[in-house]
Homo-oligomer: A and B are copies of this chain.
Amino acid sequence: MGETPPFLADPETTRESIMRATYLALCEHGYAGLTIQRIGESFEKSKSLLYHHYDDKDELLLAFLQFMLEEHESWVPESTDDGPRERLDAVIDAMLPPELAAEHHGFTAAMVELRAQAAHDERYRDQFAEHDRVFQAHLVDVIEDGIEAGQFRDVDAEAVAAFLGTTVAGAMTRRVTGGGDRAATTTREALESYVDRVLLADETEAEA
């Protein structure tokens, strides 16, 4: 424990340092076990300083989600070198890696917990709605590029992206709240076959 994604490795401002501490505390204790005290313990400065920068715990966590979303946006490799199919696989891989490393597990679990807060808190709901929009827009991009490149069938990209996003969200949730990794791996296989069927059906139909 103590690993962070690269953009959190060596924070330069105090706020970045707080984001890092929040990340670490979330991974270690989950949202349910997250207290200001615990964030303070992963923080080189004092606990009360958190209140100097953020009004309250919720504002801090919302800011954390916003921060992660922004970093995530500026982090997507955008490797247009590969073909559309490879790019699509890469996106799914990023959200649903075949083997969930121990450190990633804590963070994934915490994100599932955080998302659940959206069920009764509008601010979280807005935040995750935006997150979903960004993720889905990315999927739409990849799919439409594939269509223009003549590699994918001329499907409704929005609809396919929404479906993929929903299924991936379900698999992420199940992976950490139920049957374990098997839920994720079988979902990946099923998605492969779905993509084959729906997006690459040209060849399949040609075979028929």
Contact = CB atoms under 8 A, between A and B. Distances in A.
Interface stretch (A9-17, A44-52, A68-76, A160-168): A160-168
Contact of A32 (B115, B120, B167, B190): B120
Contact of A170 (B113, B118, B169, B208): B169
A171 interface: yes
A205 interface: yes
Interface string A127-145: 0110111000000000000
Nearest to A32: B120
Copy count, this protein chain: 2
Interface residues of A, number: 49
Of A31, A170, A187, A205, chain B has the most CB atoms within 10 Å of the CB of: A170
A19 interface: no
